[in-house]
Structures are given as C-alpha cells and as structure tokens.
Amino acid sequence: MRAILVALTAVSAALAATTSLKPAPVSPLQGVQALVKRRIPKHANDFTFQLVNGTGDSFLVSDTKGHSGGVTVQCTTVSACSRGLYTYLTQIGGVDIWWTGSRLDQLPSRLPAVGKPINGSSIVPWRYHFNTVTFSYTTAFWGFDKWELLLDWLALRGVNLPLAWVGNEYILIQVFKEAGLSDAEISDFLSGPAFQAWNRFGNIQGSWGGALPVQWVEDQFALQKQIVKRMVDLGMTPVLPSFTGFVPKALQSHYPNASIVIGSQWSGFPTSLTNDSFLNPFDPLFTKLQTSFISKQAKAYGNISHIYTLDQYNENDPASGDLDYLRNVTAGTYASLRAADPQAVWLMQGWLFFSSEDFWTNERVEAYLSGVPAENMIVLDLYTESQPQWNRTNNYFGKNWVWCELHDYGGNQGFEGNLEVLTQGPIAALTSPNSTMKGIGLTMEGQEGNEIVYDILLDQAWSSTPLNVSTYVKNWVSRRYNVKSLPAAATQAWSTLASTVYNNTNTGSEATIKSILELTPATSGLVNRTGHHPTLIPYDTDTSIVPAFQLLLNASSQNPALRTNPEFLNDIVDISRQLLANRFIDAYLSLIATWNSTTTTARSLTLAGETLLDILGDLDAVLATNPNFLVSTWIHDARQWASTTTGSGSNTANVKVNQTYAAYLEYNARNQLTLWGPNGEINDYASKQWAGLVGQYYAERWATFVRYLADARKSTGDNSAYNATEIKARLLGLGKEWDTRIWGNKTRGETWGTTGDALTLAQGVFDTWA
C-alpha cells in the first residue's frame, strides 16, 4: 500500500508542479479538454470533466444534467478522466484512435446517451509504455505530429507512466562538457540517430557513417520539450533519463583516479564501437555527474517527474559477479539519484535477468536489487507473457514490478500473440501470494502491426477479472472497421485469427514471427528457427490466414464502405503480406530441394528461383498501396530533419535541404533496417516488410543468390562450387551498397507515397497464392 501512496504522490506532485516551460495550468484537466478539441472538434463543448476525491484511478461517466447530448466524466486523476473518456468513445460512441490514425471524429454529430452511468477503475497504479529501444526502432525519426497521435493513443487507453528518452544527448553533452571533456572526446562516444538506444544502454559507443551532428542533438532536445509537456498535460508521469555511468573513453585521462571499468563486447561489434567505459557508481565522480545531469534536466523540463530510467547491465554483464560489488553498484547509483533528487525512484528494465540468466543467479539478482529500498524501485518484468522472471525472484525480492508485454523484436511484423495469456496472466500475477506487481505495460521493441495484442493488455489494466477474449475481439473489430452494417464475415475473420495466430501456445515461437524472405539467403538454417526472432510458423496457414483473408475479401464486397476504411485497408495489406511471407517458405524449400538434387540443372534452379522473385514482386506491389508499409515513409521521416523552412506564410516559405545531412540520416535509417552495424554485425535484426525494401533489397539479394546457385551448378554440375563464405560476402557487399543509396531514383521506380489499389492487388494475391 505504501508503494501505491508513493506512486500517487509522485503523480500529484507532477501535476501540481509549475514548470519552467509554461505557467501553471488553469485546471489539471485542461490537457484532456484539449485532446477533445484536437480529435473531436465538433464536440469540444460537449464533454465535462471533473476531478473528485478518491483513491487510485477511477472514473464515472454519465449524461450531463441539463445539457442534452452532453457527457460528464468524473475522475480521481487526470489519467482516469482520459480513460473514462475513452470508455465512452469506444463503448458508447463506437469509435477509436489507432496507430494508423484517429477516427474519433467519426463520432455521431449528436452524442449517444450514456444511460446508466459507467464506472471503472484501474487495478494497478501504473500503466506503462515503451522499451528503451522503441525510441530507435519506431520513433527514431518522428516529428511531433506522429508523437502527438501516439500520446493521445496512450492517454486515452489510460497509460500514465511513459518513458521519455528523446533529447537525452543534449543534457548528457552539457554534463560531459562541464566535466572538462572536449567536443571531440564527447562526439567519439555518441552513436548515430538510428542507434541511440544502444548507446544509452552502454552496448555501443561511437558512430559509423559519421559523427552525430549538433543539429540533431538540438532538434531532438526541442522535440523532447514538446513531448514531456504534452505527457504532463495528459496526466502522465514521464520516466526521465538519468546519468547511467557510461562515459566517453577520454574521461579516464581527465580523472586518472576515477574508478572506470570496461563493459563487455556486444553482438560482435569491433572494440572501437563497443566495450563502453563504465564509471563505477561508488566513485564520488558518479554522484557529481548524476547531480549535474538531473539538475540540468529539471531546469530544462521543470519539476515534472521523480522517476528515472537507468539500466547498466542490459546485455552487458557486470565487471564482477561478486555480491558485494553488485550491492555496491546499486547502493552507489541509488545514493547518486537521491543526492540529485531526494524523491528519486529508479525504474529499470528486467530483460537482463532473462537474457543473461546464467550470470544473474537468484543470489546475484537479490544482491543487486538490495542496494535500493523496496518502495523506490520499479522493475519492468520485460517479457512477462512468455519469460516471466518475477516468479523465480520472489517478486523481485519485494521490489515493485510491472507486468510487461515484449512481443516484438526490432519491429518485425509477423502475426503472433496469445490473447488468453494477456488477459489471464496479469490477474493471476496480481492476485498471487505476496505480489508486488504495481503496473501493466507494453515494452515492445517496435510498434508494427498486431495492434490487438497491445490493446487488450492495456484494457486488462481496467478489469479485475480476465476479459472475455471472444467478446473483446468482436467489439474491437466493430469499432476498428467503423462502417454502418459491418458484415459478419469481418468479425468471423478476426475470430478465426483470434483462435489461431493469436492463440499461440508454442513456447519456442513466442514473439512476432520473422519471415525468412527478410533473412540473408543461404541453403540452410533459415526455416523453423525458435527463440529470439523465431521463423517457425506456429499455426497452419491454410486453416487460419487463408480463411480469414477470404472472409475479409467477402466482407469488402458485401459492404463497399470497407474499401475506403483506413484500418481495413491496413489489415487487408497486412494479411496479404502474411500469406505471401508464409508461401515464400514453401517456394524456398522447393528451391533448396532442387539444389539438393544434383540431377537437376542450372535452368531448373533458375525456374525454381522465379517463384521466390514472383512472391517478392507481388508483396512489394501490395505493400506499396499503403502508407504504413513503405520504406519511403521511414526514409522521409529521417530526411525531414535536414530540411529547414525559412520565411513565413505559404508563399514566402522556402524549404532548404542540407543534402550532406539528409544523406547521413538516410544512411542511418537504411542501415538500421539492413546491416545494423558497419559490417552486418546484427544483420537483418530490424528487417521490415515494407515496399521498396522488399522490391529492391530483398529481391536483389534473392536474385543474386539464385544466380549464384545456378552458376555454381553450371560450373561443376554438382554442389561442390557452393562456397558459403563467398556468397555471404557478396550479399554483404550488396547491403553496403544499398545502404548508401538515396531514395527517389526514377530508373528504379522509386516514388514517395503510395501506388496501386489495395483491394485489387490483395484479391490477386489471394487468387494466386491462397
């Protein structure tokens, strides 16, 4: 209970605080009112919000007395008001806001009555969002327009604890400068715009493709001011960065006595780009830098939060496994936080306890966590839906923890989920003996599709009993495809998916399924991978994807309004994508069977290879119809930071592009999707099925591979000429070349924006490949 009180105090403190960014708000509910104005302008005056006394986050929605067509939401917190509004919009209004856009403006012009008042309350004090790496895999290049949509999405769903990493480097640079480091010494440490998450984690240091430009650092800082202000306005407590201990190499020469250790090598990166220097937290310099960081940050954003994100050993094992050392590290780190902010609460991702389970024995976990008082730490049990650690660590030895869904690696897009686990798991954990669970949250690496598995978990945070999955799915579909008379076929399509792809109980394949078409071609090792980045398809395509696809197509001919519904179009492209990705496996196996049979000819290899290339061509075409599946969207977002607009008004505005900077940003954007490192260190980790990437890069790789097989067969008549090292090097070279391209080459047919009609192409995909 004490922990809950601490938590709630932090929220009220955040709300009450006057920040240096703005005068104190007239009402704490102004932010929710502004959300209504932004998303549902025609009803700007129809919603009344009132804060009332009460514990926890609760709301009551009712018809406004004396204002016909008016709705009143009473709430105990701003976040509860926002959730109350969402409950009205979704349950009574039948509309929603999605990653693909807000459809809240489709609310009827006369608001439907509430009737019997609806109440609700959160079962946990915290609803959390983001993984540190989401800031690189999804939002790396976002401008405020995209942020605004996501923040509204979060606020309405009741999230009150979002991570807020943007602009971190601006503060960090000031701290290092104050400590006496030169610009060059600091620059040597910082990583590029697409890779900042892993620099923040201490996995990598430095940049490939050029040093981090000052302009990026400044623009991101300006963006962060907008983001955290909006978070606070919407009743959220931003989880802010802090000084972690990772420092430029040169710090040691400035402070020869400082206790600095060298962290471990990460993912095969060369030493110059990893093995980060780590200042031991019990060194007095650590506290000095922490105080410097937190005071500069508070000055920049105001007194808006006391919760800090701080990860020191994410995929990076401690210099020593000695229990005293581990205790020392946390005790020193916590003392530094408290010296800088007497109310500091430390939030950490618990991924390390799973990913380095061999190192992190229970004894070591306990020693490490023991350096901080129980109520002042929040551990994100990062992958609870599949690999919970809270149950092996006695509820993190009494620390507060959050039930989190990881689900997605690197923004990979394969359909996958387990709705039963997401509804039953949190309730079981919360009601288990000695539970210290205090939150429910989303920690996906990237936000790419499968939106239902994220929605259902955030909704579960407002229900003390497990949600009924089949009812949930029906309601979800009917507001997602918000058309008059939704054909039953659309609901049936989703019921089919819910009981197949979203009822995955295969413990080897519990994350978004990676498609082998996105992997570097090879004669073996691609199919049926399990674990991290599974390629094993844990369902039968013919009894799941195929019938669901057919039902969606039927629905669109029964009600043509679906043909212009943005979420329907998104989903029809997504299911076409999944069918083609799965059929690609069959085509690949057939190519390999042809290769294995040494009686087949080079010509038969070329023919077998054509099927693979046909699939990639069809896939690229259907993806190209939708803005959510374009590599050009990602590249555009990256390049936008190199544009400056001068003058004012549409006539005088003059957009200037710094081409050097734009090319640098584009390289970062492309490299993350492909080689992920200067030399393919974690090649294809963040692969995507996006038009442009599929039609060019993946297609060029597979075409090269097929040619290689055919040439090898031709040269010797058997398989002896196949040299895995040689073809791998050739494909890596192709990746390096692709990464330096500039989008927009007309000869390659590169366009910005969409082309083609989704339903015509989807029908073609179904007819050919189902």
Ligand X SMILES: *[C@@H]1O[C@H](CO)[C@@H](O)[C@H](O)[C@H]1NC(C)=O
Residues within the interface to ligand X (CB under 6 A) = 52-53, 58, 119-121, 213, 256-257, 282, 322, 324-325, 328, 388, 391-392, 394, 420, 433-434, 469, 498-499, 503, 505, 524, 527-528, 536, 589, 592-593, 596, 658, 660-661, 664, 723, 725-726, 729, 745, 747-748
- Nearer to ligand X by Cβ, of 184 and 589: the residue is 589
- Nearer to ligand X by Cβ, of 18 and 723: the residue is 723
Q: Do residues 473 and 498 touch, judged by C-beta distance below 8 A?
A: yes
Q: What is the CA radius of gyration of the chain?
A: 26
Neighbours of 456 (CB within 10 A): 21
- Nearer to ligand X by Cβ, of 87 and 309: the residue is 87
- Nearer to ligand X by Cβ, of 67 and 392: the residue is 392
Q: Which amino acid is at 93?
A: G
Residue whose token pair is 């539970």: 435
CA distance 751 to 753: 6
For residue 114, the number of C-alpha atoms closer than 13 Å in the C-beta half-sphere is 24
Those residues with Cβ within 8 angstroms of residue 113's Cβ, 6 or more apart along the chain or in another chain: 63, 92
CA distance 295 to 303: 10
In the chain, what is the straight-line distance between the N-terminal and C-terminal CA atoms, in Å? 55
Burial class (CB in 10 A: 0-12, 13-18, 19+), 741: middle
Shortest distance, position 218 Cβ to ligand X, whole Å: 11
Shortest distance, position 287 Cβ to ligand X, whole Å: 11
User: Chain centroid to CA 122: how far?
Assistant: 23
- Nearer to ligand X by Cβ, of 719 and 763: the residue is 719
- Nearer to ligand X by Cβ, of 13 and 536: the residue is 536
Shortest distance, position 326 Cβ to ligand X, whole Å: 9
Shortest distance, position 631 Cβ to ligand X, whole Å: 16
- Nearer to ligand X by Cβ, of 105 and 357: the residue is 357
Q: Do residues 450 and 419 touch, judged by C-beta distance below 8 A?
A: no
Those residues with Cβ within 8 angstroms of residue 653's Cβ, 6 or more apart along the chain or in another chain: 645, 646, 647
Q: Which amino acid is at 448?
A: E
- Nearer to ligand X by Cβ, of 61 and 104: the residue is 61
Shortest distance, position 190 Cβ to ligand X, whole Å: 13
- Nearer to ligand X by Cβ, of 131 and 594: the residue is 594
- What are the distances in angstroms from CA 503 to CA 455, 471, 495, 510? 15, 15, 11, 10
Burial class (CB in 10 A: 0-12, 13-18, 19+), 503: middle
Shortest distance, position 656 Cβ to ligand X, whole Å: 9
Shortest distance, position 609 Cβ to ligand X, whole Å: 14
- Tokens at 364, concatenated: 């070591």
- Nearer to ligand X by Cβ, of 435 and 558: the residue is 435
Shortest distance, position 728 Cβ to ligand X, whole Å: 9
- Nearer to ligand X by Cβ, of 286 and 346: the residue is 286
CA distance 156 to 440: 15
Select the residue whose beta carbon is closest to ligand X and give its number.
499
Shortest distance, position 127 Cβ to ligand X, whole Å: 15
- Nearer to ligand X by Cβ, of 596 and 601: the residue is 596
For residue 648, the number of C-alpha atoms closer than 13 Å in the C-beta half-sphere is 0
Nearest to 498 by CA among 527, 534, 455, 439: 455
CA distance 247 to 245: 6
Nearest to 707 by CA among 599, 602, 614: 602
Shortest distance, position 219 Cβ to ligand X, whole Å: 11
Shortest distance, position 461 Cβ to ligand X, whole Å: 12
For residue 198, the number of C-alpha atoms closer than 13 Å in the C-beta half-sphere is 26
**CA dihedral in degrees (395, 435, 160, 158; nearest 10)?**
130
- Nearer to ligand X by Cβ, of 34 and 663: the residue is 663
Helices 545-558 & 566-596 angle (0-180, nearest 10)? 140
Shortest distance, position 559 Cβ to ligand X, whole Å: 25
CA distance 305 to 499: 42
Shortest distance, position 213 Cβ to ligand X, whole Å: 4
Q: Which amino acid is at 168?
A: N
Shortest distance, position 390 Cβ to ligand X, whole Å: 8
Which runs of E-coded beta strand occur in 296-388? 307-309, 345-349, 377-381
Backbone phi, then psi, for 381, in 5-degree steps? Answer: -80, 90
Q: Do residues 761 and 625 touch, judged by C-beta distance below 8 A?
A: yes
- Nearer to ligand X by Cβ, of 483 and 493: the residue is 493
Neighbours of 471 (CB within 10 A): 9
- Nearer to ligand X by Cβ, of 176 and 301: the residue is 176
CA distance 155 to 147: 12
Shortest distance, position 261 Cβ to ligand X, whole Å: 10
